[in-house]
Amino acid sequence: MNIKGQKVTLHDMSLRDGMHAKQHQISLEQMIAVATDLDDAGMPLIEVTHGDGLGGASLNYGFPAHTDEEYLNAVVPKMKNAKISALLLPGIGTVDHLKMAKDCGVTTIRVATHCTEADVSEQHIGMAAKMGMDTVGFLMMAHMVSAEKVLEQAKLMQSYGANCIYCTDSAGYMLPDEVTEKLGLLRAELNPNVELGFHGHHNLAMGIANSLAAIEAGASRIDGSVAGLGAGAGNTPLEVLVAVLDRMDAVSGVDLYKIMDVAEDLIVPLMDNPIRLDRDALTLGYAGVYSSFLLFAKRAEAKYGISARDILVELGRRGTVGGQEDMIEDLALTMAKAKGVL
């Protein structure tokens, strides 16, 4: 693989996807400390939002320690060079949330939909583009459909005004060949001025390999998290990716030692549990289950005595997708009754 000289924009997820792993309980001080050190390390883009995006604060998704507006107002003014992005899932986040984020100084809005539902992003993508924002379409759970289907949905987002399209491996299920196929088709068929991005989860330990495959196929934006702080087994660990890109003479602009220090000194002490590939996180990747279901399944295990692994496998079999978090407890209860443990 030769990606020598290729410029890659890294996008840190530890303060958004990492919110899942922290059950959305990151303090303002912690947000500021991590974001300012990432800025100092040369991270160009940092996402700050509830784990499920703007407006995610709810019984279904979890109540955060602070509102999105409080987090954004705390972090944005402290940035010297880094730009702040926000995630928005239509149906959870509204156009009012979008305007609020823009008013707080968010420059990049990432409108996320399930990989077959790009049509619900028209209003939000259209409005963000009209407001002159860096507007990204983010197709989640992209392993569930063919490359042709991802392309069809990406073309919709492009037609609404997105200037960048992401192929998102929400379940950490993809292997490099699949990433190559999907990103390669997007690169061949979308407008050449539309950037491509890849967002990986490390549930099969493929975060780095998949990110490299994405870069080789034409992606210029790659998501990851410092020390992998993110849902499931975490996102692609950014300090590792920076080291690998350095060795391959690709250009990320991020200082390796500084980002290593953010990982070790700030993020690891922040973790409630070590982010590692335990049997449940591995099951997410193996069964193709949405990464943020992990903690829901572990909580259901503690409550109903059904193993998180069995719950996750069944969720995978049923093809459950993001937004169906309430089904996890329901399923655990049904399984417990069927097993006679309740």
Ligand X SMILES: C[C@H](O)CC(=O)C(=O)O
Considering only residues 4 to 43 of the shown chain, the ones binding ligand X according to CB under 6 A are 17
Determine the Cα–Cα distance for residues 241 and 207; give it in Å rounded to an integer: 9
**Looking at beta carbons only, is 135 or 168 nearer to ligand X?**
168
Buried b (16+ CB within 10 A) or exposed e, 254-289: bebebbbbbbeebbeebbeeebebeebbbbbbbbbb
- Does residue 20 carry a catalytic annotation? yes
Site for Mn ion contains 12 (CB under 5 A): no
Cα gap 296→150, rounded to integer Å: 28
Tokens of 83: 């730009």
Q: Is 286 known as a binding-site position?
A: no
169 forms part of the interface with Mn ion (CB under 5 A): no
User: Is residue 239 within the footprint of Mn ion (CB under 5 A)?
Assistant: no
Q: 16 labelled as ligand-binding?
A: yes
Say if residues 5 and 250 touch (Cβ distance below 8 Å): yes
**Does residue 52 interact with Mn ion by CB under 5 A?**
no
Binding partner of residue 121 among ligand X, Mn ion, none, CB under 5 to 8 Å per kind? Answer: none
Q: State the pairing for strand pair 134-140/195-199.
A: unpaired
* 318 Rama class: left (phi>0) / alpha (psi -120 to 50) / beta: alpha
Residues within window 219-238 making contact with ligand X, judged by CB under 6 A: 231
Spatial contact of 53 and 85, defined as CB atoms under 8 Å apart = no
Which residue among 8, 11, 14, 17 contacts Mn ion (CB under 5 A)? Answer: 17
Site for Mn ion contains 280 (CB under 5 A): no
Check whether 199 is labelled as a binding-site residue: yes
- Residue list for the binding site for substrate: 16-17, 170, 199, 290
Q: Could you list the residues that contact ligand X (CB under 6 A)?
A: 17, 51-53, 89, 112, 140, 168, 170, 199, 231, 291-292, 322
> Residues annotated as binding site?
16-17, 170, 199, 201, 290
The residues carrying an active-site annotation are 20
